[in-house]
Structure 1
Amino acid sequence: MLLCNTQSPPESPWTASLLVRLIGSRFNPSEGFLLQHIFPTLQLMKSVTEECPDITRIYTIGKSYTGLKLYVMEISDNPGKHELGEPEFRYVAGMHGNEALGRELVLNLMQYLCKEYKKGNQRVVRLVTETRIHLLPSMNPDGHEVAYKKGSELAGWAEGRYSYEGIDMNHNFPDLNNIMWDAQETAADPSKVSNHYIPIPEYYTQEDVAPETRAVISWMQDIPFVLSANLHGGELVVTYPFDCTRDWAPQENTPTADDAFFRWLATVSKASSTIATLSSATQKKSHHLSC
Structure 2
Amino acid sequence: MHGDETVGRELLLHLIEYLVTSDGKDPEITKLINSTRIHIMPSMNPDGFEAVKKPDCYYSNGRENSNDYDLNRNFPDAFEFNNVSTQPETRAVMEWLKTETFVLSANLHGGALVASYPFDNGVPATGTLHFRSLTPDDDVFQYLAHTYASRNPVMKKGDECKNKMNSPSGIINGYSWYPLKGGMQDYNYIWAQCFEITLELSCCKYPRAEKLTSFWNDNKASLIEYMKQVHLGVKGQVFDQNKNPLPNVIVEVEDKRHICPYRTNKFGEYYLLLLPGSYMINVTVPGHNPYLTKVIIPEKSQNFSALKKDILLPFRGQLDSIPVSNPSCPIIPLYNLPSHSAVTKSSLLVILVNLFHIFFK
Identity of aligned residues (%): 40
3-state DSSP of counterpart to 1:276: coil
Q: 1:177: Cα distance to partner?
A: 4.3
- Determine the C-alpha separation between the residues in 2 that align with 1:106 and 1:168: 21
Q: For residues 172-224 of structure 1, give each alpha carbon's deviation from its aligned partner in whole angstroms, at most 9, with x where no partner exists.
A: 00003458xxxxxxxxxxxxxxxxxxxxx9x99xxx31100000000011111
Query: Which of residues 135, 140, 145 is equivalent to 2:40?
Result: 135
Provide the residue aligned with 2:142 in structure 1. Answer: 263
1:282 is aligned, of 133, 157, 160, to 160
The verdict on how the C-alpha distance between 1:104 and 1:122 changes in structure 2, with shifts beyond 3 A counting, is: same
Tell me the alpha carbon deviations over residues 9-32 of structure 1, each in whole angstroms, 9 at most, x when there is no partner.
Answer: xxxxxxxxxxxxxxxxxxxxxxxx
Decide whether the 8 Å contact of 1:251 with 1:290 is kept in 2.
Answer: no
Tell whether the 8 Å contact from 2:114 to 2:149 is kept in structure 1 after alignment: no
Mapping of residues 147-158 of structure 1, within 5 Å: 147=52, 150-152=53-55, 157-158=59-60
- Greater helix share, structure number: 1
- For residues 1-291 of structure 1, the aligned pairs below 5 Å read 95-119=1-25, 121-147=26-52, 150-152=53-55, 157-178=59-80, 208-247=85-124, 249=128, 251-272=130-151, 275-277=152-154, 279-280=156-157, 282-284=160-162, 285-287=164-166, 288-291=176-179
Write the letter of the residue equivalent to 2:51.
Answer: V
Distance 1:236 1:278 in 2: 5
8 A Cα contact 2:115 2:149, kept in partner = no
TM-score (norm 2): 0.42
| Whole-Å separation in 1 of the counterparts to 2:138 and 2:155 | 25
Residues 59-107 of structure 1: CA deviation (Å, up to 9, x unaligned): xxxxxxxxxxxxxxxxxxxxxxxxxxxxxxxxxxxx0000001101111
Q: How many Å separate the matches in 1 of 2:27 and 2:141?
A: 25
Structure 1 length normalisation: TM-score? 0.51
Q: Give structure 1 stretches of 5+ with no counterpart.
A: 1-94, 180-200
Is the 8 Å Cα contact of residues 250 and 290 (structure 1) preserved in structure 2?
no
- Larger radius of gyration between Structure 1 and Structure 2: 2
SS in 2 for 1:225: coil
8 Å contact kept, 2:3–2:45: yes
Q: How many residues align?
A: 166
C-alpha displacement at 1:242, in angstroms? 1.9
Taking a change above 3 Å as real, the CA distance of residues 111 and 229 of structure 1, as seen in their structure-2 partners, is same
CA separation of 1:276 and 1:136: change in aligned 2, threshold 3 A: same
Partners of 1:170 and 1:114 in 2: CA distance:
30
Root mean square deviation, CA, Å? 2.7
Q: Which residue of 2 aligns with 1:68?
A: none
Distance 2:74 2:150 in 1: 34
Q: Deviations over 1:20-60 (max 9, x none)?
A: xxxxxxxxxxxxxxxxxxxxxxxxxxxxxxxxxxxxxxxxx
Of structures 1 and 2, the one scoring higher in RCO (CA 8 A, sep 6+) is 1
Unaligned runs of 5+ in 2: 167-175, 180-361
